[in-house]
Structure 1
Amino acid sequence: MTDQISLLHDSDVTAQNDFVYDVVEPQDDGSNDSSMESNPQNRVLRRTRSLNAPSPVQTFGPCGRIMKNSAMVMTIQDPASQMLTWYKPPLTVLVIKKVRDSSVLPPFVQMVTWLIEEKRMVVFVEASVLEDPALARDPRFQGVRDRLQTFRDGTDELQDRIDFIICLGGDGTLLYASLLFQQSVPPVMAFHLGSLGFLTPFEFDNFQEQVTTVLEGHAALTLRSRLRCVIVRKNEEGQPTEPPTNLLVLNEVVVDRGPSPYLSNIDLFIDGKHVTSVQGDGLIVSTPTGSTAYAVAAGASMIHPSVPAIMITPICPHSLSFRPIVVPAGVELKIKANSNARSTAYVSFDGRNQQELRVGDSLKVTTSIYPVPSICAADQITDWFDSLAECLHWNVRKRQKHLDELSDLAHSSSNDTLDSFDRDS
């Protein structure tokens, strides 16, 4: 057990290889002196400084233990330890705004102007933004227009050019940012200027103070896991017909019956084992972030985004006992159309890129090593429960009245009857 829980030292700061930012915790108080280390009886056990909490104990009783294989040992994320810091000051920022919404244009102009003139940052925007006629008529935007860097989705590569992302709009802007970065994602700061705002915790009113705080490295992170989805297409002889399609999604991948009038008939495998066949309108495979989107509308539970899990939710199943399930994040799911299905299936990724899934084709889904680092307005727990209450009205109801307020009932005797109440009224 000595290799599972270690003392907290100032130099024990570790980072996960897939991220470009570090993870830190509060500083040690210096109470771990040499006498404690020499005497195990006096040793103070504390949480290690890492992205994950200490691994669970690997020994069970006098004889049982887990094999010494780190890939087989579950690690539990510690949300409280996920704090953003910068290896060097960020210089380039990508600003994504909600499309087809004129109300976002003034905040957008205000944001990019401030970033360029006050923060001296290199600002990237989508090329189509500069083609907006409404922006062309804005005199303040004309002053910074020529200083903006542009890109086109699907043409220009952003992977190693962006240090920081700012989203102005609704949840769709964060989903779009996830789509743009199919590997490591820069930290994302999302401002609520859209319809729902479940994933956008920041208000725009005092954006200067909030952005400055983040740029100085004072912010909590929620690491929103993504799903790695691979479509393998094969003909009836089992030979590949085209290169695999590889996509990362933040919310969910949906397999449904598309335009067909027939029930979908889909086989579901987990780690190579056939689990069940799905007969109904389809199947939702979602991340914890996506559990509060399409999945919850289909009857699934809501899962905090820091929980390492994959949710499987049937859509209108043809069975009353087919309930949503949660499986470990490390498993690999394989979904394919049943050979006896009356029609093909269709698959979409975060509501985009719908493709046909024919007999012989298969969809493989597992948790990606590249999450979306979403910056918190307060912290991981507060932001999530605030979103549940404000956006989904979770457990919102009228308060039960106190007994003192029910004067007619509180002061009535046991001999009172309905007739006596009627006479009094």
Structure 2
Amino acid sequence: MTDQVSPLLDIQCNGHLDINNDMHNRFQNGSSTKNIPRNRVLRRTRSLNAPSPIQQFGPCGRIMKNSSMVMTIQDPASQRLTWYKPPLTVLVIKKVRDNSVLPPFVQLVTWLIEDRIDFIVCLGGDGTLLYASLLFQQSVPPVMAFHLGSLGFLTPFEFDNFQEQVTNVLEGHAALTLRSRLRCIIMRKGEENKEKQPTNLLVLNEVVVDRGPSPYLSNIDLFIDGKHVTSVQGDGLIVSTPTGSTAYAVAAGASMIHPSVPAIMITPICPHSLSFRPIVVPAGVELKISVSPDSRNTSWVSFDGRNRQELFHGDSLRVTTSIYPVPSICAVDQITDWFDSLAECLHWNVRKKQKHLDELSDLTHSSSNDTLDSLDRDS
């Protein structure tokens, strides 16, 4: 796995951003975090506040500020991509087993040979972008995704005028959407103190726990920050990022969340309860998902549709928001790109337009005249 972001990347921040200053500086410069003392590395976001890290309640009350645990959310409109050194290299990812993508792939690479740059170009659909996210399990270079697949919800760029669009990115004329990812760790029963490394993955869309091939309902316990919240009886559970809310989650009945919103969505799959609705929790919480002790069967877990494996009794899955988002380059801006995708890919709020009252009145008048004329002819 690749775990180094480009040292040339600079995300311009005009708003507030405080992620443990030392950690933040190293992350922004693409430096490794291995030498940072363990007590100073922000493993997960514990609190999210906007627009100020200090909230006042009346003349005396306020939230106590802890510099090592507080993350302030900046204005998304202030997130712009700039280069403080000439970009050097580019990673181009093509959709596999699709011959139609090969000619534009060759055309793009031929053009890039003259100007090598320092970001990712994806040619394909949403799956290609998910694969790019999987390659980088820590810092991710900016991703420019061209729509050459079947859906393209996460790929806002059209390939027709790629030269002009790539040049705009090279010159720093690009907005960014920082798409949060989920840190997922599987803890196997009895292996907490062994040397074997647990499954540890970052996912961009969702992690899914389901009943697999078993004919029985899933019986899954859900904990939030150590507190048992509920037991899921049904086909399973989806834990998704805001980016993933428009994927499997929305197909299972969840709402849609803009990717800049700091949140985690929890969606049951075919729950055996009419009152079990999807919920949204703060991005800073830690989820623990485990097979209930009295469950008739085990469960299965998959990460962005990959790395599917079985969860046995006594195993647990830990999920929280990662500090390493995917910086997705916008074709226009965060709001325009997202609503265009909703309209074009999901046909959001598409319906037959209601007639104006004047049109309705003319139609009624014409219908009345036709009826009178027909009566005269009959008589």
Q: How would you bin the TM-score normalised by the shorter chain?
A: 0.7 to 0.9
Task: Provide the secondary structure at the position in 2 that maps to 1:269.
Answer: strand
CA distance 1:13–1:396, shift in 2 (3 Å): closer
Task: Give yes or no for the alignment of 1:275 onto 2:275.
Answer: no
Root-mean-square deviation (CA, aligned residues, Å) is: 2.7
Shift of 1:87: 2.4
Aligned to 1:90: 87
Task: Give yes or no for the alignment of 1:299 onto 2:253.
Answer: yes
Q: Contact 1:55 / 1:74 at 8 angstroms: preserved in 2?
A: no
Task: Provide the secondary structure at the position in 2 that maps to 1:291.
Answer: helix
Shift of 1:238: 7.8
The number of aligned residues is 339
Task: Provide the secondary structure at the position in 2 that maps to 1:406.
Answer: helix
Aligned to 1:330: 284
Shift of 1:405: 1.6
The aligned runs of 1:226-375 (5 Å cut-off) are 226-235=181-190, 242-375=196-329
Task: Give yes or no for the alignment of 1:66 onto 2:63.
Answer: yes
Query: What one-letter code is carried by the residue in structure 2 that aligns with 1:113?
Result: T
Shift of 1:56: 5.4
Query: What one-letter code is carried by the residue in structure 1 that aligns with 2:240?
Result: S
**Larger-gyration structure (1/2):** 1
Shift of 1:411: 3.9
Q: For the residues of structure 1 that align with 2:366 and 2:161, how far apart are their CA atoms? A: 55
Aligned to 1:400: 354
Q: Contact 1:288 / 1:303 at 8 angstroms: preserved in 2?
A: yes
Q: For the residues of structure 1 that align with 2:292 and 2:29, how far apart are their CA atoms? A: 42
Q: Contact 1:257 / 1:345 at 8 angstroms: preserved in 2?
A: yes
Equivalent position to 2:97, from 82, 95, 100: 100
Q: Which has the higher contact order (CA 8 A, sep 6+)?
A: 2
Q: For the residues of structure 1 that align with 2:29 and 2:280, how far apart are their CA atoms? A: 30
Q: For the residues of structure 1 that align with 2:311 and 2:28, how far apart are their CA atoms? A: 33
Q: Which string of whole-angstrom CA distances, capped at 9 and with x for unpartnered residues, describes residues 134-155 of structure 1?
A: xxxxxxxxxxxxxxxxxxxxxx
Q: Contact 2:53 / 2:65 at 8 angstroms: preserved in 1?
A: no
Q: For the residues of structure 1 that align with 2:226 and 2:253, how far apart are their CA atoms? A: 27
The aligned runs of 1:112-261 (5 Å cut-off) are 112-116=109-113, 118-119=114-115, 121=116, 163-235=118-190, 242-261=196-215
The aligned runs of 1:42-81 (5 Å cut-off) are 54-55=51-52, 57-70=54-67, 73=70, 75-81=72-78
Shift of 1:239: 6.7
Runs of 5+ unmatched residues, structure 2: 1-12, 19-23, 31-48
CA distance 1:90–1:397, shift in 2 (3 Å): same
Identical-residue share of aligned pairs (%) = 84
TM-score (norm 2): 0.83
Shift of 1:91: 0.8
Q: Which string of whole-angstrom CA distances, capped at 9 and with x for unpartnered residues, describes residues 261-319 of structure 1?
A: 10000000000000000000000000000000000000000000000000000000001
